[in-house]
Amino acid sequence: MGKLKLIIDGIIKNNPTFVLILGMCPTLGTTTSAINGMGMGLATLFVLVLSNMTISAIAKLIPEQVRIPSYIVVIAAFVTIVQLLLQAYLPSLYETLGLFIPLIVVNCIVLGRAEAFANKNSVIDSACDGLGVGLGFTIALTILGFVRELLGSGSIFGWKFIDGDGILAFVLAPGAFIVLAYLIVLFRKVTAKKA
């Protein structure tokens, strides 16, 4: 399978946020700004690539019945590593993302890709798949964060261009749901035209 195709598929055809509708919790909870969304996406990408590679490598050694718990432990280990690294070297991002970092472990995307792809394919292919899906997720979160930040705080990547606040609803709970809805519709329209 073409490695590049795998990556591109993850971004467009299998985009976890706009197509597969997976990993909604961090998508809604961490996109109050573009940087936060990007940070969350990249942390998840890190876990995705590493866990996909590891699970692909050891899949044959794991008995069928303990498959899921084993994958979960591997994923949880990588998530903890991300937690510790962020806490040590990017403490402000760590505080902003808060609870959602350990929640990467129950992000359906990670376990989903492990189950659907990594345990049946080679290590390199699995890495590409993880990279593609992770990039798709990161791009989706960054876009969502960008829109919410633009409309809600009047800033772009932290650079404020208005005095005072924007339309606060966008950085609060309702905004998350509603902006995501419109982005999915937009994505559908754009990709439908291509087909």
The site for other proteins (CB under 8 A) is made up of 21-25, 28-29, 32, 59-70, 72-74, 76-77, 79-81, 83-85, 87-89, 91, 95, 99, 102-103, 105-108, 111, 152-153, 165, 168-169, 171-178, 180-182, 184-185, 188-189
Residue where the block lists tokens 């990408």: 45
Tokens for 25?
């919790």
Centroid of chain to Cα 154: 24
Write down the least CB distance from residue 110 to other proteins, Å.
Answer: 9
Which CB sits closer to other proteins, 128 or 171?
171
Which CB sits closer to other proteins, 2 or 122?
122
Which CB sits closer to other proteins, 134 or 152?
152
Q: What DSSP element (H or E) covers 181?
A: helix 173-194
The C-alpha atoms of residue 33 and residue 153 are separated, in whole angstroms, by 9
Write down the least CB distance from residue 70 to other proteins, Å.
Answer: 5
Residue where the block lists tokens 């995307």: 109
Tokens for 33?
């700004």
Write down the least CB distance from residue 4 to other proteins, Å.
Answer: 28
Amino acid symbol at 11: I
